[in-house]
Amino acid sequence: MQLAQLNVGRLLAPTDDPKVRDFMDNLDRVNGLGKRMPGFVWMMEESGEPGRGNTDAKIDGDPLYVANLTVWGSVEALEAFVWGTIHKQFYARRKEWFEVMGQQHFVMWWIEDGLYPSLNEALERLQHLNAHGASDHAFGWDQVKTARMHETHGCT
């Protein structure tokens, strides 16, 4: 089994606004690092345009939503990328670029090797987590016993 994850956020401004320039200017850098990490399997990529990442993947037609959907070989591989690389520095700056979400905006689930989830499937998993709490169907860092870096680096 492999680990799928979805992280969504709503930008404070359109992607061409100077308020989110640092975020946009570093998308390729951070995504590229993730793709080179041991254990990385797949990433949803929409436009394929340099510096755009997945910012063209609209959620509910809202151009300010950004979705990051990836597949990893293990929880440890994802954890090493999220909390053990420069990604952590951009995560720490998220309030500069993203609205504070009123509910869970990150979800993980196990998928069979070789499968890649759609954005709709991932959003359903996130919705399930928010409606029913953590389960085998959808869970967060707290439900993964081997993951501990989020305890000191994660959302408060």
Model confidence pLDDT, tens digit, residues 66-85: 899 999 999 999 999 999 99
Mean pLDDT of the chain: 88
* Domain map (residue ranges) of the chain: 2-153
Q: How would CATH label the architecture of 2-153? A: 2-Layer Sandwich (3.30)
pTM of the model: 0.88
Q: Please tell me the distance from the alpha carbon of residue 111 to that of residue 3, in angstroms, as a whole number.
A: 6
C-alpha to C-alpha distance for 117 and 50, rounded to whole angstroms: 23
Contact 116, 71 (CB under 8 A): yes
Instruction: State pLDDT tens for residues 90-130.
Output: 999 999 999 998 889 999 999 999 999 999 999 999 999 99
Please write the tens of the pLDDT for every residue from 34-56.
999 999 999 998 655 566 666 66
